[in-house]
Structure formats: C-alpha cells, structure tokens
Structure 1
Amino acid sequence: MDHSPAFRLRRFLNWFPLGLTYAAMYMGRYNFNIVKNDIGAWYHLDKAQMGLIASAGFWTYGLAVALNGPIADRIGGRKAILVGSLGAALLNLLIGFMFLNGDASKVLVSMSLLWSLNMYFQSFGALSVVKVNSTWFHVQERGVFGGIFGIMISSGYFLATTIGAWLLASFRSWTVIWFVPAAAMTTMFVIDWFLVRNRPSHAGQADFDTGDGSNAASAEDAPLPLGDLFRKVFHNPVIVALIFAEFCTGFVRQGVMLYFTEYLQEVYHLGKKDHLFWWTGIAFMGGGILGGLLCGWMSDKLFQSRRPPVAFLFYLVQVAMLGLLGMTLGQGSTGGQVWAVILLGLTAMFIFGVHGMLSGTASMDFGGRKAAASVAGALDGIQYIGSGLTGFGLGWVLKTYGWDGTPLLAGAGTHGHQPANAWIWVGCIIPFSLIGAFIMTRIWNAKAGAGAH
C-alpha cells in the first residue's frame, strides 16, 4: 500500500501506544505465573489448587472475550481499551493490597474471584487492538500486523517474566509484582486517551478500502445487527475451523507458559531469583518477535496472504520443540540450564507466531472491519477455554504423575526425586499441536475476501 509519510506516522502513533497498553496488560495478567509458586508455598496450596485459580481466570476470560467482542464492535476499540486497561489496573491494585494487608485467609476463593474479575477486563485488550487496527491496515499489510501483534504479546511476556523476576529478587515482598503493572496500565490509559483513535478519519487522515470486503464508508457508522454479526461469525466454515484451531493453541500456549517456572526449578534447579532466569523473559520476547514477524512475512510474501499454510508449518515445529523440552538435555549443568532457556524461547517463537497469526491477523481477514472484534473474541475466547484445561487439568496430572511419571515428593525441586525427563508434561501438550496442524490442512487455501463481507 502506498500510504503518505503523514499517514504512516499517525498510524504508528495509534498502534504503538495501543501495543504498549496491551503489553502492560499482559504484565498484569502473567504476573500470576511468576508468583503462583510463592503463593502456593506460603498458603500451602499444591499445583492443582493453584491451577484452579488459573482456570477460573482463563475461563472467565474465554467467556468474556466472546461476549465482549460484539460490544467492542459496537462501541469501538478506543473505548474498549480504555475500559479494559483501567479495570485491570484497579484489580491488580486490589490483589496487591489484599496480600499486603495479609487479608488472604481464604486465598483460594478470594484470589479466584479477584483474578477472574481482572481477566474480565483483560479480555478487552486483544479485541481493542484488532478492532482499531482493522481500519488502519490493508489486508495485504496484515501479515506484517500479525508480526506486530506478536511483538506486543512478546513484550508483555518480557515485562511479566524479566521485570517480575527482578522485582522478586529486589524486594522482600512479592506483593509489589501487582503494583507495578497497575501503574503501567494506568499510565497507558492516559496516553491512549489522547492518542488512540478508532479510524483514520478520526485522526485527520482519510479512510480507505482495506480490501477485506467491508464498506469503508459505513464500517463503523452502521454496526451490524447482532443477529447478522453472529451469522457472519458462526456460519463461516473457515472461522469455525479457526475456532477449533485456537482451542488447541490455547492448550499448547498456556501448557508451556503456566508451568515453565516449575519446569526450570524442579527439572533444572533454576530458581526465579537466579540471574539466568531473567533471561527467560528475553528469550520469550525474542522468540515471540521473530516468530510473529516470520509468520507474517511468510504468509504475505510466500503464500499470497494465506494464513493456514504458515500456521501448519509452525504447529509442526512446535511438536519438535516440545519433544526437545521433554528430553531435558543437560540436567545438572549450567549449560543445560542455558539450553533450557534458549529452547523455551524457540518454543515460544512458534507458539506466539501461530497465535498472532490466527487471533490477530485472520480475525481481521475473515471478520472484516465490522466484525473484526467479534471474530477475535470468538478465537481468543475458545483459546482461553482450552487454556483453562491446563490450570487444574495439567496441574493435577503433574501433581499426580510428576514430570516423568514419578510423582514429585515434598521438596522435589531440591532434595527429592530428580525427574529423568518431562515426557508427561509435553506428552499432554503435543497432541494439541498435531490437531492444530491437521485443521490447517482443511482450510489450506482460505484467504481474506471470501468470508469477509
């Protein structure tokens, strides 16, 4: 697309703060992953019980993002990101004060409730990003946007993991890990208020035909009736296939992200306060950025803006990366710890690449400008339904069978059974990558335009 320098600058000033907001919201979402071991140890909760808190949040997010998709389509992405960032900031503050004041006698119930409310507001994040950018990016530019979406996600993981680990190492209390994301989200709320606009014409630029079959003149002024919106989403076989694929992505993604800290600690004896652990966030960010950009570039340049072929390849590479994680090479050595961190980054590369492509790019392609948030909500929602199974489900499996088929004993991370491998963990995840790859073969030639009217 031949955009003017002024348009490109204004578009950057629109998507960049939006992306930073999404990254800050991720920090307020994945801080739980960093401290759940500490919470569990302090309040004597096992993996399955902590997994219940995670599942409550995942499933709340999954339902909320599906319900809020049509709302975001009607109110616009700008209002949606403002509501989401402010609400999530307030909930992170409440959680921090709850632990700071020691008011957590029934932590399983209170944390599940507050975390679910946080995840409700978090659900507006991806919807807003997709909705706003569906009017700013032509379909031929959206593969690149998929890479940008991956960068946003990866930056959030970096903030949650690296900054979170630094905060844990620098402060005596892990409650601070809730306050920093709250401050970041509040700051971005103010910036978004002044910079983010729903469409080019709201920012002094000309609207244009985005090539997805939606009407440039009425894409926002005349929202689709809810009945038409749901028919557009659920009567499209490509979107339905993507929904099933994202269910698999959700299990794979959170199956890794929710338990990588325990994997490093119990299998490789690498704790959150070790300097090498901080590099995990950098590995996730680097891998996610490369995966998002590579996935977007390949789909636009090698497959004529078709998304399924690239997603198919990435799903297959996920299987290889997960297999290497299961082998747990180099245990008992610093080199092995370094290898594990690098391998987690490579795994993230192919997981985040698919997620950004399907949730970020394909939702705009097949939803069009009028239904972009609704399709994103359906895809992201079902993804978090799959994610919810990794909370109590995978947590119960690991509590019962351990990493290698031998249940972990008390203190297993340091004095008890040393896992010989992690095949139980990755063995639960790999089938979902294979199913995702198979689904992509069923919609191999799907392309924007046919389903976006």
Structure 2
Amino acid sequence: MALLLVSLCLAAVITLYFRNNPLGHSRKFMIRRFVNWFPLGMTYAFLYMARYNLNVSKNAMGDMMTKEQFGLIFAAGTITYGFSFLLNGPIVDKIGGKKGIIIAALGSALMNLLMGGVTYLYLMGRLKTNMVLAFSVLFALNMFFQSYGAVSIIKVKAYWFHVRERGVFGAIFGTLISFGVYFAFDWGQAIVNASQLHIEGEKTAFQRFIQHIFAIDTGTTNATWLVFTIPAFLLLVWALIDFILLKDSPKEANFDDFDTADASSAPGENDDNLKISIGFMLKKIFTNPVMITIALVDFTSGVLRNGIMQWYLVYAKETEQTNPAFFEGSKFFINNWGLLLCMTGIFGGFAAGIISDRLFNSRRGPPAAINNAMMIVLLIIMTFSLFRHPTVFGLSAILITLAVIGVHSLMSGTAAADFGGKKMTATASGIVDGCVYLGSGIQSLAIGYLSHRDWTYWPLFLLPFAFMGLWLSIRMWSELPAATKKYILEVEKAEIKKQEREGTTGDPAQA
C-alpha cells in the first residue's frame, strides 16, 4: 500500500512537471529535460537513503549504540558535510553537475560498503577498533562525498530551468528529498526486518527474497549490515544510468541554451570570457547580504528538519518502557514514519514552490516566512503534548517536516541558485546547504546531550530557531535578483501591450 501511494505521488509529480511550462518550451525539450532530471533526482534520493540508514541502524542495534554515541557519529558527518562545500561547491562549478553526481554516488557507495563491513565485524565480535571512532570517520567520509550530490543537482538545474520555473523545480527537489527519506526509513526498516535471524510468523515475499539473495543466516546475529550494503549497490546502478543519460546543459543535449534570468544574467555577469576563480566566487557570495540571509534561514531549517526527523523514532522507542500508553498511541507514526515524511514533504515542497512562483512573483521569502510561522505554532503544541497526547504530538512532528521541507527546498534548491547565478550556483547552493548541515550537527550534539537528561528540552531547544527563521525570512520578503525583476517587468509590459491591442481590435469605435 505504501509503495502504491509513493508511486502515485511520483506520477503526480511527473504530471505537474509536464503541465508547468510558463516559457512555452517545445514538447521535445520538456521530454529531454525530464530524461535529464529524473535519473539525477533518483540518484539524489538514494543518496538520502545511504545517509539516513545510520538512523535505522541505530534503532536496530538498540543499546549497542547509545543516543550520545549516535549523536556524536551523526554530528561528525553533518559538520563534515557542512564545511566540505567550501571545497566541493567550487569544484562542481568547474567540472559540472554530471561528474559531481557520479562522484557523489560512487564515493557514498564505497563508504556505505565499508560501514556495512564495520557493522558486520562489530556484530560478529571481530572489530578491533572503537565502534564510535570507526563509524564517525566513515560516516564523515560518506557525507563528504554526499555533499557533491546536492550541489550537482542544483548546478544542472540552473542551466535547464528558468527562474520562473524554479519554484516548481524546488518542489520537485523537495519531493526527491522526501522519496529519499521514505527509502531510508521504510525501505531501510524493511531490510532490517528481513535480515533478522529469527522472524516470527510467516515470512513475507521481501523477507524471503533478501534471505535467499544474500544468504544471511549467520546462525549467530542479525544481518544489520545490509542496511548499508544494499543502498550502496543501488547507488552504483544509478551512477551508471547518470553516466549514460545526464547532460550538464541544453546545448550538450543538442538544444539551444537560453537566458535563465538569474543573477548570471545581470550586466557584466553573462560574459563567457569572465574568469571565475574559487576566490572570486567565495568573495562574491560572502559579500552578498541576501546570500548570507538565505544561508542563515537554511541553517535554522537544518536544526529544525533533523531535530524532528532524527529524534522522533528514538524518542518514541524509549517510551516503550517508560510510558507504554504513549508508545501504543505512537505506533501508527512509528510504523509509517518514512511514508508520512515522504507524503508531507512532497506536499510541503509543492505548496511552497507554487505559492512562490504564482502568488509572489518567484520571491522565496514570503512562503519561507509562512512556513516558519507554522513551525512556531507546532513546536508549542509539541511542548504541551509531550508524554501526554501521542497523536497530537506525532501530527505536530509530521507537519513540522512538511513546513521545513518547504523552507529547505526554497532556500537551498531555489533561492541560492537564483542569487548565485548558473555560473556559481554550485558554490552558492553548496554554502547554503552546508549551513543546513552545520545546523543539523549542532542539534545532533545538543539534543543527544539534552534528551539524555530530559526530553522536555527537545522541542524547547528547537523553538528559538523557528523564530530566527521567521525573522530572517521576513527580512528577505521583497528580494529578487535584478535580472529577474527586469524579466518580470518586461513580461508585464508585454502583457499590457497585448491587452491594449486586443482591446483596440475588439472595439469597432476605436478602430
């Protein structure tokens, strides 16, 4: 049933993509652009599966990996991810998104295979080094390679999508993130369940398939390492597909390049002979107050997004012993966490993108502010329903992910490319996405520490970041790149002239 719902959502996303064509691209171009972004996007979704499988493995290992240990490992990865963009963003701007996404897929696949190997050795009692140290190093390297993925998908998007189309592409970006979360939590949990040494009741077809293909009957322990190795093999497949199908720009796919009306279209910025060094790009971005605001908004979204996604299952699992009634009331959310994150993330991304493009002339600040205001209300509700009302608490957590994916897809997936321009879009979106994971690293350390003492601190810790996100979003309420303003003005003038001509033609007295 879950797979059917996800498939229907994917079909709806594809339909919306083909129906959204404000620039009147040819049918042939729309199909070729779909062939370009779909495998690129699915690779990114499976990169997410190969990232959040760590969360699934923590629950599978139980007390063998404590909350503090998990928090340290996750923080090591997310902080590495955040700082790696200073290197990887400029590199992708130089080499292109195709090479970048292939590096991401291959590198992450290798690190996941190694994490699977460490998990195997640990469960078999053969690990000769500290588990936390081994996982921290490998997960940090995994996140280093993963950082190529986000900037690569935005880099390719910057050449293929006009600013007036990017709100909807931001929604597609959010959808791909949501699919990745679904793959990680629900498919990952299905892999863990199928890899158990002793399965109660009749085995499902998937469990029989996994046990037959991977011959996992060790006789001593669950084959939890498969939650790392299976995503690794999937990434290798998608890397091959990307190598065959992906093109960095319309020109490489035998179409004419077109003016995307982002910051690269401003006077003096659209010179093909302009030398753009790493230092030039970093200076351009770090001296742009709008880019700094976008990065700070996404920093708050990183705290809020992973502050919910990373810890809800851990919290709910703990209540099984301390508050059985609350645990029973949380079972629907526990059993469907990945699917719920996927559905709400898709809706949140599309709502924010469509509102941005159609109601606010492609301004990204207004819908980000609306979503942050929603999160403030929901975090207050979470605080008062903690330990008391499992359904209200679970719904609030899920709706926060809806709002925060809307913010993230607008800031990292859209606004950074708008204001960075297609020539520097990987560097710009990389720095913005890096701030997301710096925020994620901070919350991982803080909540891992605070929740060990009292879970009440959890939503209270997140609340100031939602207020900060609201304030910053309001500050950038009216911001648009100069080239986008010029494009919108020209479109409005053309529309007025068209209406005047039609009015003159339709009125016999004027004729």
TM (norm. structure 1) is 0.89
Residue in 2 that maps onto 1:230: 282
Q: How big is each residue's C-alpha offset from its partner over 1:358-404, in whole Å with a ceiling of 9 and x where there is no partner?
A: 0000011100111111111110111211111122221101112x213
After superposition, the Cα gap between the structure-2 partners of 1:328 and 1:230, relative to the gap in structure 1 and judged at 3 Å, is same
Tell me which amino acid in the other structure corresponds to 1:403. Answer: W
Residue in 1 that maps onto 2:466: 433
Residue in 2 that maps onto 1:374: 427
Alignment match of 1:72 (pick from 85, 88, 92): 92
Alignment match of 2:33 (pick from 1, 4, 11): 11
Q: Is the 8 A contact 1:49 1:392 kept in 2?
A: no
Quick one: distance in 2 between partners of 1:87 and 1:270?
40
Q: Is 2:231 the partner of 1:181?
A: yes
Quick one: distance in 1 between partners of 2:333 and 2:372?
28
Q: Percent sequence identity over matched residues?
A: 37
Q: Secondary structure at the match of 1:211?
A: coil
Tell me which amino acid in the other structure corresponds to 1:427. Answer: L
Q: Is 2:53 the partner of 1:31?
A: yes
Residue in 2 that maps onto 1:350: 403
Q: Is the 8 A contact 1:161 1:278 kept in 2?
A: no
Between the two proteins, the alignment pairs up a number of residues equal to 426
After superposition, the Cα gap between the structure-2 partners of 1:356 and 1:46, relative to the gap in structure 1 and judged at 3 Å, is same
Q: Is the 8 A contact 1:22 1:125 kept in 2?
A: yes
Residue 278 of structure 1 deviates from its aligned partner by 3.4
Alignment match of 2:347 (pick from 286, 290, 293): 290
Residue in 2 that maps onto 1:41: 63
Quick one: distance in 2 between partners of 1:157 and 1:87?
20
After superposition, the Cα gap between the structure-2 partners of 1:221 and 1:8, relative to the gap in structure 1 and judged at 3 Å, is farther
Q: How big is each residue's C-alpha offset from its partner over 1:97-151, in whole Å with a ceiling of 9 and x where there is no partner?
A: 1211334341011110011000000101110010000000000000001100100
Alignment match of 1:263 (pick from 311, 315, 324): 315
**Which shifted more, 207-216 or 290-299?**
207-216
Q: Is 2:368 the partner of 1:311?
A: yes
After superposition, the Cα gap between the structure-2 partners of 1:219 and 1:432, relative to the gap in structure 1 and judged at 3 Å, is farther
Residue in 2 that maps onto 1:95: 115
Quick one: distance in 1 between partners of 2:47 and 2:164?
28
State which structure, 1 or 2, has the greater radius of gyration over its C-alpha atoms.
2
Q: Is the 8 A contact 2:385 2:392 kept in 1?
A: no
Q: Is 2:214 the partner of 1:214?
A: no
Q: Is the 8 A contact 1:85 1:186 kept in 2?
A: yes
Quick one: distance in 2 between partners of 1:294 and 1:13?
24
Q: Is the 8 A contact 1:264 1:270 kept in 2?
A: no
After superposition, the Cα gap between the structure-2 partners of 1:5 and 1:127, relative to the gap in structure 1 and judged at 3 Å, is same
Q: Secondary structure at the match of 1:245?
A: helix
For structure 1, which runs of at least 5 residues remain unmatched after alignment?
405-423
Q: Is 2:416 the partner of 1:363?
A: yes
Tell me which amino acid in the other structure corresponds to 2:287. Answer: H
Q: Is 2:185 the partner of 1:135?
A: no
Tell me which amino acid in the other structure corresponds to 1:305. Answer: S
CA-atom RMSD in angstroms: 2.4
Residue in 2 that maps onto 1:415: none
Q: Secondary structure at the match of 1:135?
A: helix
Quick one: distance in 2 between partners of 1:161 and 1:389?
22
Residue 450 of structure 1 deviates from its aligned partner by 6.0
Alignment match of 2:70 (pick from 46, 50, 72): 50
Quick one: distance in 1 between partners of 2:156 and 2:335?
33
Q: How big is each residue's C-alpha offset from its partner over 1:4-29, in whole Å with a ceiling of 9 and x where there is no partner?
A: 00000000001111110000000000
Q: Secondary structure at the match of 1:439?
A: helix
Residue 277 of structure 1 deviates from its aligned partner by 2.6
Q: Secondary structure at the match of 2:336?
A: helix
Tell me which amino acid in the other structure corresponds to 1:232. Answer: K
TM (norm. structure 2) is 0.79
Residue 451 of structure 1 deviates from its aligned partner by 9.5
Question: 1:332-351 residue pairs with structure 2 within 5 A?
Answer: 340-351=393-404
Residue 236 of structure 1 deviates from its aligned partner by 0.9
Quick one: distance in 2 between partners of 1:253 and 1:213?
28
Alignment match of 2:135 (pick from 89, 111, 117): 111
